[in-house]
Amino acid sequence: MGNDEQTPASAREADGRDPRAALIETINVRSMSLIILTSIATLYFIDWAQPVLLPLVVAVLISYSLDPLVSGLERIHIARPLGAAMVLLALVGILAAASVPLKQEAMVMLDKIPKAIKEFQREDAYSAEDEESIMEKAQIVAKEIEETAKKSREGQAAAEVGVTPVRVVDRPMDIREYVISNSPATLVLISQLFSVLLLVYFLLAIGKLYRRKVVKISGPSFKRMRKAARILNDLHYQVRRFLFVMVVSALFVGILTWLAFLVLGMEQAALWGAVAGIASAIPYLGPFLVFVGSGIAAFVQFGELDMAIIISSTSLIITSIQGNLLMPWLTSYVSSLNAVVIFVGLLFWGWLWGPVGLIVATPILMITKSLCDHVVDLRPVGELLGK
């Protein structure tokens, strides 16, 4: 008996490893598999539910930005539903009034784009002619002669058979047909805008209703309710202050860009100011696009490389002041994100939700970090997201 049976210790020695370690390894593999499958399913759901999630996220962020105004009206005894309606109507009115001159400047700029493309093509053609060698020119001439002879033979053959040559005529663009063909996308966009406005109104009108409900269902102990209230209050403060900083930074960049371009004689300065202000909400990528775009537009307008460098450098200086001085000063009491996380977040949300995803990427990361900092199990994730 003693020779045939082995004790658990001797069995472990014979096998070479601890069964408990093998069990733990199996559990870890299963956990990682579940995490990977859950992540893939979550990505698919976010992409599939974009028509619902995107307006909801945008509405929540806008409501956070406008909440201080509605709260201020509530302090002077104006009911929240009425105050929310007043703030939204004022915002829509300001945007509509500002869009009229910006639309005219945008149309002027769009009219210049074909001319600029033709100028660049003409300059490229001239430079190519100067750089071509004698052999290349001879090859081009030989190719043209060959094509002409081929067309002539085809025309003679068609005339002998009695076939009428067909001439392809470019059809002019029909604006009405273009609008009709793209009407479904336009209707979807308009419906989403109305959905966002309605959601913003309802979120502003109810105020702290959902925060109180979350605190209530976090019970039953008073300690858990107090902790939930503290987390929600800090999250609300962090997100609201961060969005306030983004709005102030966008106004700073937009107004300063408009004035600087106006002084430098840049055409459509107001439009460039609006574009720069909106693009400042997209870290790194937005200022870079404005830097390149303003330089190209200045080169097309003035025809001088020096003015293009001055215009683009002015844009870079303004965004550098905003990113290196204004933002750190305003966000001194707000949790900060590191540069790698911001760049990866831009790639991720831009891939999922397109241009709007680039704008909402940083606020979503900010909300995620604020939430992770208050949940014990998620604090390592918050540490990875922060500086």
Q: In this predicted model, what pLDDT tens digit does every residue of 267-294 receive, in sequence order?
A: 888 888 888 888 888 888 888 888 988 8
Q: SS3 of 386, please?
A: strand
Residue 85 in this model has a pLDDT that exceeds 80: yes
- Mean of the per-residue pLDDT values of the chain: 75
pLDDT of residue 79: 87
With respect to residue 231, please indicate whether it lies within any of the assigned structural domains: no
Q: How confident is the model at residue 171 (pLDDT cuts 50, 70, 90)?
A: low
Residues 223, 225: Cα–Cα separation, whole Å:
5
The number of domains in the chain is 1
Residues 334, 363: Cα–Cα separation, whole Å:
12
Residue 170 in this model has a pLDDT that exceeds 50: no
Element (H, E) at 9: helix 8-15
**Once rounded to an integer, what is the mean pLDDT over residues 206-214?**
77
Over residues 92-131, the pLDDT tens digits come to 888 888 777 777 777 766 666 666 666 666 655 555 454 4
Chain centre distance of CA 241:
20
**% of the chain exceeding 90 in pLDDT:** 3
With respect to residue 107, please indicate whether it lies within any of the assigned structural domains: yes
In contact, 362 and 280? CB cutoff 8 Å: no
pLDDT of residue 1: 46
With respect to residue 78, please indicate whether it lies within any of the assigned structural domains: yes
pLDDT of residue 259: 92
Element (H, E) at 354: helix 339-374
Residues 209, 216: Cα–Cα separation, whole Å:
11
Residue predicted with more confidence, 319 or 159: 319
pLDDT of residue 185: 64
Question: Domain range spanning residue 83?
Answer: 51-114+184-207
Residue 183 in this model has a pLDDT that exceeds 80: no
Residue predicted with more confidence, 214 or 59: 59
Q: How confident is the model at residue 68 (pLDDT cuts 50, 70, 90)?
A: confident
The single-letter DSSP state of residue 326 is I
**Once rounded to an integer, what is the mean pLDDT over residues 306-326?**
86
pLDDT of residue 320: 86
With respect to residue 92, please indicate whether it lies within any of the assigned structural domains: yes
Q: How confident is the model at residue 16 (pLDDT cuts 50, 70, 90)?
A: low
262-296 b/e (C-beta count within 10 Å ≥ 16 → b): eeeebbbbbbbbbbbbebbbbbeebbeebbebbbe
SS3 content of the chain, % helix, strand, coil (to 5): 85, 0, 15
Q: How confident is the model at residue 256 (pLDDT cuts 50, 70, 90)?
A: very high
User: Degrees (nearest 5) of the Cα angle 325, 276, 324?
Assistant: 15
Angle between helices 80-131 and 50-75 (to 10 degrees): 130
pLDDT of residue 167: 53
With respect to residue 314, please indicate whether it lies within any of the assigned structural domains: no
Residues 36, 149: Cα–Cα separation, whole Å:
64
With respect to residue 128, please indicate whether it lies within any of the assigned structural domains: no
Nearest to 291 by CA among 257, 252, 324: 257
Distances (CA, A) of 349 to 46, 54, 112, 353: 10, 11, 32, 6
Q: How confident is the model at residue 299 (pLDDT cuts 50, 70, 90)?
A: confident
With respect to residue 215, please indicate whether it lies within any of the assigned structural domains: no
pLDDT of residue 92: 87
**% of the chain exceeding 70 in pLDDT:** 69
With respect to residue 105, please indicate whether it lies within any of the assigned structural domains: yes
